[in-house]
Amino acid sequence: MIDPMTTGDDAPDRLDRIQEAWRSERPDLDVRPQGVIGRLHRVAGHLTEELVAVYRRHGLGEGDFDVLATLRRAGAPYERTPGDLCANTLVTSGAMTKRVDRLEAAGLVSRRVSETDGRGRVVALTPRGREVIDAAFTDHMANERRLLDALDPADAEQLERVLRRWLAVFEDPRDGARRPPVSGPAASG
C-alpha cells in the first residue's frame, strides 16, 4: 500500500484529470461532486479488496463473514432466526439460505427447529464456527486498524463524523432502514 503521507496528499490525481477534462468539455456543469463521489467510490473498492483478502485467509467469503459475525455478536448461545440474519445482513431470504447452506456444509453453523415456534428455524454457530469467526474477526480488526492508520487520527475522526451524517441521509441511524431517495433533480425523475 502506498503511504499517502509520502506521495503528497494534495497532488493531482486521476479524478482531478477527469474533472478537468469534463470542465473543458462541459463548462456549463459543476463537476465538483465527482471529486467526492468518485474518490469515495474508488476508496470503497480498494477497501473491499483489502477486507476480502483477510476473509479468504480464513476460508470465508464476504457474505460468510457477515453471517458468522452476526451470529457471534448476538452473544451466547450465538444463534438467530433466518429472518433476523436477513435483517442484520441486509440480504434476501434466498441469498441467506445459500449462505447458511454453505456454512452448514462447512460445519460452521447448524440449523434446528425453534424451541418457541415449531415452524421456525434457528441458525447457530458451531464450536468450530466460533473458532473461525473469532480468528477472522481478530485479523479483520487488525486489518481495519492498518487501513485506517494511513490517515491522521484527527482526519479519521472527522471522516467518521462526516460519513455518519451523510449515511443518515440514506438510512435511519436507529435501525438502518433505507430512507426515500434524496430529493433533487435526479431523484424526481
- The rounded percent of the chain whose pLDDT value lies above 90 is 69
Look at residue 134 and tell me if it is in a domain: yes
| Boundaries of domain holding 27 | 23-141
pTM for the predicted model, two decimal places: 0.82
Q: Assess if residue 77 is contained within a domain.
A: yes
Going by C-beta distance under 8 Å and a sequence separation of 6 or more, which residues neighbour residue 91?
A: 63, 99
The Cα 105–Cα 32 span in angstroms is 49
Q: Is residue 164 part of a domain?
A: no
What rounded mean pLDDT belongs to the chain? 89
- Residue-wise pLDDT tens digits, 21-78: 999 999 999 999 999 999 999 999 999 999 999 999 999 999 999 999 999 999 999 9
Domain of 86, CATH number, reads 1.10.10.10
The answer to the question of residue 137 being in a domain is yes
**What is the number of domains present in the chain?**
1
CA distance 141 to 65: 13
pLDDT tens-digit profile of 154-184?
A: 999 999 999 999 999 998 888 777 888 877 6
**Residue 74 falls inside a structural domain:** yes
